[in-house]
Every structure is written in structure tokens, then in C-alpha cells.
């Protein structure tokens, strides 16, 4: 018997594309997304919103968040009964001492109807590119959801993701499991997304003491070359390499290669502040664009070398750190 073609697929391609746009690209709302208590609450509060000039210029953003395991256990209807989303474990109690299973969900549905992608392979092939290339996928600090979310997509859909946003937790309070989740997210993203076509928005939780940053010295680009891997070169903002020492040799800091590239020392931490997360983020080196912004929250006055360095780093997030990141990531 001859195989019948769906009436929908017999429509002209132009008509089908118009239908996909109606279902997947609803008009962008200017209303702020109301808070939803079913998700794990962020562990920071942005007291001083900073400049937004470095955020992703995307009219549409999908906020992917981890569902609070306690809310999911009490109300399983938070997920459709036929949901096949991957489950993963997070530390969800007040002291983050035990793990419980949960999954992710979309916090702000702007009126999407993505079910059409599951109708058949041809429709998925035609519509997936429109959906995944048109939105910024914002995970905030829920980096544990990145691998489950991306792994649930088809390779073709993952390849069309063009914008990714995430937030790095306050460095002095990062735990070992936070580091493991961050590493896994960076590793999977570098291996499975089209890095060359990706725009990355990085938020960094920054601490500001009651007296402000006036008495805290700002860091320079040279400080960040201390954590820059030896195998990764960067360009100064001026475009011309200037070695820190004309007598340096071998693998010393500030080495100039071919008169234009500067290499670092590859330190894992400075003054007790972990910077291995930056090295892992550099696995995404070669992205199309990178935006860095500080998420400023209040912190106690620094009473240790580690806290004092973190406050100086916080002051420098939208200055020398952003400059250095762009010099390394955009090659």
C-alpha cells in the first residue's frame, strides 16, 4: 500500500514555516516573569543591578530552572505524567548535606507550543532550528540542569543553540559538588554544542562590603593571566602584545609568542580563591561572543586574605576580568 503523506506536510513549505513561527515564536512580552515557588530559589540577591550593555541581545529568553525536589515530591502533577525528562540529584536541604532527585522545567513559558516537534522527523527537522536558534537559554545558577537539558535534545537541535546564559556562584562559598556540576556543564557544552556559533552570557556573583569598593584595589588583566592556562594565549585589548618582563624565558608569565600572543601560569587559585572554574570555561574558547556582568550583592567587610581578594575580584568583574575573558575567549 502506498504510504500516505500527512495533509500538513502537503502544505507548501512557506505555509508550514509560518505555522511554526506562530507556534514557536509568540510575540515577546515586556512584562517581567513572576516568581515561581516550585523552583529551587537562587542563593544570591542582586542588590545593585549593573549595566545591561553586556547582556545578550536576544528578544526571547527561556529560563530553565531546577524544580525544588520537596515541591515535586509533594505535587507530582508539576510534571506531565508522560514526561521523559532526565532526572538528576541535587543538594536541596538547608545545609546542602543530602541529595534528592528532581528535574528541570521552563520557568517562563511565553506561549510556546513545542509539541509539534514530536509529530514526525520531518517536522522536527524543519522546526527545531527555528526554536533553538531564536532563544537564549538561561540557566542562572542552575548549572546542574545544563547537561540533563542538553542531553535530552537531538544532535540537530543542540547544534542550533546560539545563546547560553549562566551564573557563577559567589566564589568563597562554592562547594566541591558545585565545582563538579560546573565542570560537567562546561565539558558537555564544549563537546556537544556548536561553540563557534555560540554567544555566552556569564553572570558572576560579586560581593560589595558596606563601605563599598573604594578601599579595595582593583585587579588588572595581568592578575588573570596567572590563572590563564599555559597552553592558551590571549591578546591584550590594545591588540599589541607587551611582555611583563623582557628577560622572561621558557614558560614564564607574560611570554610572547610570534610577537602577539600572551600566555599565563595556569594557577588553580589565587589567595585561596578558586579559579579552576575559569579554566573549565575556557573549554568554550572560540565562541562567537561573550558577555560578562557582575551580579552585586552585599557581603561582610573582609577579614581574611581570601575575602579581601574576592572583594577586589568583584570590583573588577566588569573591568579587567571582562577585558581578559574577551581577549582569551574570542579567537
The predicted pLDDT at position 32 comes to 64
The predicted pLDDT at position 248 comes to 38
The predicted pLDDT at position 3 comes to 58
The fraction of the chain above a pLDDT of 90, given in percent, is 60
Burial 105-128 (b: 16+ CB within 10 A, else e): bebbebebeeebbeeeeebbebbb
Cα separation, 189 vs 329, in Å, equals 15
46 grid coordinates: 542582586
The fraction of the chain above a pLDDT of 70, given in percent, is 84
Would 273 be classed as within a structural domain? no
Question: What are the pLDDT digits (tens) for 58-100?
Answer: 568 999 999 999 888 888 888 877 778 899 999 876 666 778 9
Would 322 be classed as within a structural domain? no
The predicted pLDDT at position 257 comes to 40
Domain count, the chain: 1
110 grid coordinates: 511565553
Would 105 be classed as within a structural domain? yes
Question: What are the pLDDT digits (tens) for 292-309?
Answer: 999 999 999 999 999 999
Which of 222, 227, 229, 224 has the alpha carbon at shortest distance from 243? Answer: 222
Cα separation, 154 vs 150, in Å, equals 8
Question: What are the pLDDT digits (tens) for 142-177?
Answer: 999 999 999 999 999 999 999 999 999 999 989 899
Residue-averaged pLDDT of the chain: 85
The predicted pLDDT at position 94 comes to 62
Range of the domain at 79: 13-23+35-204+287-300
Q: Residue 4: pLDDT band by 50, 70, 90 thresholds?
A: low
Would 238 be classed as within a structural domain? no
The helix (H) or strand (E) run that includes residue 138 is: strand 136-138
**Cell numbers 537541535: residue:** 157
Would 178 be classed as within a structural domain? yes
The predicted pLDDT at position 258 comes to 41
Q: Which residue has the higher pLDDT, 5 or 211?
A: 211
Q: Residue 17: pLDDT band by 50, 70, 90 thresholds?
A: very high
Would 235 be classed as within a structural domain? no
Would 78 be classed as within a structural domain? yes
Would 308 be classed as within a structural domain? no
Q: What is the pTM of this model?
A: 0.86
Question: What are the pLDDT digits (tens) for 202-251?
Answer: 999 999 999 999 999 999 999 998 988 888 877 765 444 333 333 333 44
Cα separation, 76 vs 87, in Å, equals 13
Burial 183-198 (b: 16+ CB within 10 A, else e): bebbebbbebbebeeb
Amino acid at each position: 500500500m502506498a504510504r500516505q503523506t500527512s495533509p500538513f506536510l502537503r502544505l507548501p513549505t512557506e505555509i508550514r514555516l509560518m505555522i511554526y513561527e506562530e507556534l514557536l515564536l509568540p510575540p515577546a512580552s515586556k512584562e517581567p516573569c513572576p516568581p515561581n515557588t516550585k523552583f529551587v530559589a537562587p542563593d544570591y540577591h542582586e542588590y545593585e543591578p549593573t549595566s545591561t550593555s553586556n547582556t545578550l541581545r536576544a528578544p526571547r529568553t527561556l529560563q530553565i530552572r531546577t524544580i525544588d525536589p520537596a515541591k515535586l515530591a509533594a505535587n507530582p502533577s508539576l510534571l506531565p505524567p508522560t514526561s521523559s525528562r532526565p532526572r538528576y540529584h541535587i543538594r536541596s536541604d538547608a545545609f546542602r548535606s543530602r541529595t534528592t532527585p528532581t528535574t528541570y522545567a521552563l520557568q517562563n513559558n511565553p506561549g510556546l507550543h513545542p509539541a509539534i516537534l514530536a509529530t514526525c522527523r520531518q517536522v522536527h527537522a524543519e522546526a527545531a532550528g527555528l526554536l533553538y536558534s531564536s532563544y537564549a537559554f538561561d540557566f542562572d545558577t542552575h548549572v546542574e540542569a545544563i547537561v540533563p537539558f542538553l542531553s535530552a535534545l537531538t544532535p540537530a537541535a543542540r547544534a542550533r543553540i546560539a545563546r547560553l546564559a549562566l551564573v557563577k556562584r559567589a566564589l568563597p562559598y562554592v562547594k566541591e559538588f558545585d565545582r563538579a556540576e560546573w565542570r560537567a556543564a562546561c565539558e558537555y557544552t564544549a563537546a556537544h554544542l556548536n561553540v563557534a556559533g555560540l554567544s555566552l552570557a556569564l553572570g558572576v556573583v560579586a560581593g560589595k562590603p558596606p563601605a563599598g569598593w573604594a578601599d579595595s584595589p582593583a585587579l588588572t588583566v595581568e592578575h588573570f593571566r596567572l590563572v590563564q592556562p599555559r597552553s592558551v594565549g590571549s591578546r591584550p585589548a590594545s591588540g599589541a602584545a607587551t611582555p611583563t618582563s623582557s628577560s622572561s624565558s621558557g614558560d614564564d608569565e607574560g611570554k610572547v609568542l610570534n610577537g602577539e600572543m600572551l600566555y599565563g601560569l595556569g594557577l588553580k587559585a589565587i589567595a585561596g580563591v578558586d579559579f579552576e572554574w575559569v579554566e573549565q570555561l575556557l573549554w568554550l574558547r572560540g565562541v562567537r561572543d561573550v558577555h560578562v556582568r557582575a551580579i552585586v550583592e552585599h557581603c561582610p567587610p573582609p577579614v581574611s586574605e581570601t575575602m579581601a581578594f574576592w572583594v577586589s575580584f568583584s570590583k573588577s568583574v566588569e573591568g579587567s576580568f571582562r577585558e581578559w575573558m574577551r581577549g582569551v575567549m574570542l579567537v
